[in-house]
Amino acid sequence: MMNKTTKWILWSVLLVFLIIYPLVFGIYYTNVFVTFAIAALYAVAIQMLLGFTGFLSFGHAMYFGVGAYGTAIALVHIKGLPLIVSVLFGFASALLLALVMAPLVVRLSVTAFAMIHMAFGMLAYTLALKLRNITGGEDGIGAFPIPPLRIPGVFSIDMTDPTNFYYFAMVILGVSIWILWFVTKTPFGCLMVGIRDNANRIDYLGFKLPQTKAVLYLLVGGFAGIAGSIFALFQNLISAMELYIMHSFIQIMQIMVGGIGSFFGPILGAGVFAVLEELTSRYTQRVELVIGLILILVIMYFPTGLIGMYHHFKTRFFTRQAD
């Protein structure tokens, strides 16, 4: 175990790094980092479902998308909407969708759960594409006003400035990730891994399975919605493409690459994907080929992901020392 001092030092280093990052790396990489952080929250939320509770979803892009549309549509139609409220709109829309979906999905087996999500995910995608007057179809909703972060009479910070937005996004995303991390440490978190390992026994210990899953489902949907909401604000654009099924798969891949079942795995995975996309798109046209090959290699040789790899080498290193 790390002792308290080391822990605090590490957290402080991380904090300082996050604060000086935009000053050191410039606007381009600041934006790359925001993209990564959004993906990280999204992937962490999915990990709660997949890695911790054992439920595979092929359609979570709908929560990300609904969160994004919720924020964008609110900003288009409501004049002078405060920034935080617009994020809450995104969160609430995703939560609402989860609330409708939860009764349908909490009693399903793992495979049926995955498939029904794929189905509803595609339905959401098609709807976003076809309901042009609400969603803007393929073009999506763009160029909506991004309100400043302000408390009247105290301060007003312009959010169209990339550096300002970076700090705002970091706070929202960071706090969200922290909340999810905290949840894994609570008795509810115990229940989640219990369901993954042996759902039947959870029932036989007196816990209500469907209700527990429903609470988790709302949590995951809501936070995926926040990720989507920040995405919409960041891009100042949301289109049906973000709901496409591939955007449900990518998070699962990030989780696998980072390490399934580990909280920080998905963040690592999201980081790897961000770097990969950055590098491959710079040096080759064949982004898909590279990602495809990496997926094949990871799943064939390191199915536990980077976190698993780390533990693997750590164990080997220490055993050798012991010899």
Partner 1 sequence: MDATTAMYVAQGLHGLAYGMILFLVASGLTLIFGMMGILTLAHAAFFMLSAYFSYQVMQMTQNFWLALLIAPVVAGIVGVLCERFLIRRVHVMGHIGELILTVGISLVILDAVKAIWSTDSLYVDIPECLQGLVSIVGMEYPIYRLFIIGLALLVLIFMALILYKTRLGMIVRAAVSDADMVNALGINVPLVFMLVFGVGTWMAGVAGVAIAPILTVFPGLADQMGMDAYIIVVVGGFGSLSGAFLVSIIFGLLSSYGVQFVSQLAPILMFIFMAIVLVIKPVGIFGERE
Partner 2 sequence: MSILETKELSHDFKGLWALRNVGLQVKEGERHAIIGPNGAGKTTLFNVITGTYVPSKGNVFFKGNDVTKAKPNEMVRLGMGRSFQITSTFSRLTAFENIRMAVLSKRGIRFNLFKQVDKMNDVTEETDAILKRINLDGERDIPASALSYGKSRSLEISMALATDPDIVMLDEPTAGMSRDETHTAVELVRRLTEGKTTVIIEHDMDVVFSLADRITVLHHGEILAVGTPGEIEKNQEVKDAYLGEMEV
Residues that bind partner 1 (CB under 8 A): 50, 56, 104, 108-112, 114-116, 118-120, 122-123, 126-127, 129-130, 245, 249, 252-253, 256, 260, 286, 288-289, 291-296, 298-300, 303
> Residue 311, interface with partner 2 (CB under 8 A)?
no
The only residue of 215, 237, 241, 309 in contact with partner 2, by rule CB under 8 A: 215
Residue 197 binds: one of partner 2, partner 1, none (C-beta under 5 to 8 A by kind):
partner 2
Give whichever of 2 and 300 is closer to partner 1, judged by the CB atom: 300
CB of 254 to partner 1, least distance (A): 11
Instruction: Provide, rounded to whole angstroms, the least separation between the CB of residue 51 and partner 2.
Output: 11
Query: How far is residue 310's CA from residue 146's CA, in Å, rounded to a whole number?
Result: 41
Minimum distance of partner 1 from residue 176's CB (angstroms): 24
Burial class of residue 136, CB neighbours in 10 A (0-12, 13-18, 19+): buried
- Binding-site partner at residue 204 among partner 2, partner 1, none, CB < 5 to 8 Å by type: partner 2
Q: Which of 127, 209, 237, 309 binds partner 2 (CB under 8 A)?
A: 209
User: Contact at 8 Å (CB) between 68 and 229?
Assistant: yes
Site stretch for partner 2 (CB under 8 A), options 67-75, 208-216, 226-234, 264-272: 208-216
Nearer to partner 2 by Cβ, of 185 and 316: the residue is 185
Q: Is residue 194 a contact point for partner 2 (CB under 8 A)? A: yes
190 interacts with, out of partner 2, partner 1, none, CB within 5 to 8 A per kind: partner 2
Mark residue 140 as left, alpha or beta (left: phi above 0; alpha: psi -120 to 50; beta: remaining). left
Residue from 87, 105, 177, 191 in contact with partner 2 (CB under 8 A):
191
Choose from partner 1, partner 2, none: what does 241 bind? Cβ within 5-8 Å by kind: none
To the nearest whole angstrom, how small is the minimum distance from the Cβ of residue 289 to partner 2? 36
Cβ closest to partner 1, residue 237 vs residue 294: 294
Q: What is the 3-state secondary structure (H, E, C) of the chain?
A: CCCHHHHHHHHHHHHHHHHHHHHHHHHHHHHHHHHHHHHHHHHHHHHHHHHHCCCCCCCCHHHHHHHHHHHHHHHHHCCCCCHHHHHHHHHHHHHHHHHHHHHHHCCCCHHHHHHHHHHHHHHHHHHHHHCHHHHCCCCCEECCCCCCEEECCCEEECCCCHHHHHHHHHHHHHHHHHHHHHHHHCHHHHHHHHHHHHHHHHHHCCCCHHHHHHHHHHHHHHHHHHHHHHHHHHHCEECHHHHCCHHHHHHHHHHHHHCCCCCCHHHHHHHHHHHHHHHHHHHCCCHHHHHHHHHHHHHHHCCCHHHHHHHHHHHHHHHHHHC
| Residue 197 contacts partner 2 per CB under 8 A | yes
Residue closer to partner 2 by CB (options 207, 264) is 207
Min dist. Cβ of residue 193 to partner 2 (A): 6
Residue 317 interaction partner, one of partner 2, partner 1, none, beta carbon < 5-8 Å per kind: none
Q: Shortest gap between Cβ of 82 and partner 1 (angstroms)? A: 35
Give dist(CA 309, CA 286) in Å, integer.
Answer: 27
- Pairing between strand 141-142 and 237-238? antiparallel
Q: How far is the CB of 249 from partner 1 (least distance, A)?
A: 6
Q: Which residues bind partner 2 (CB under 8 A)?
A: 182-183, 185-191, 193-194, 196-198, 200-209, 211-212, 215
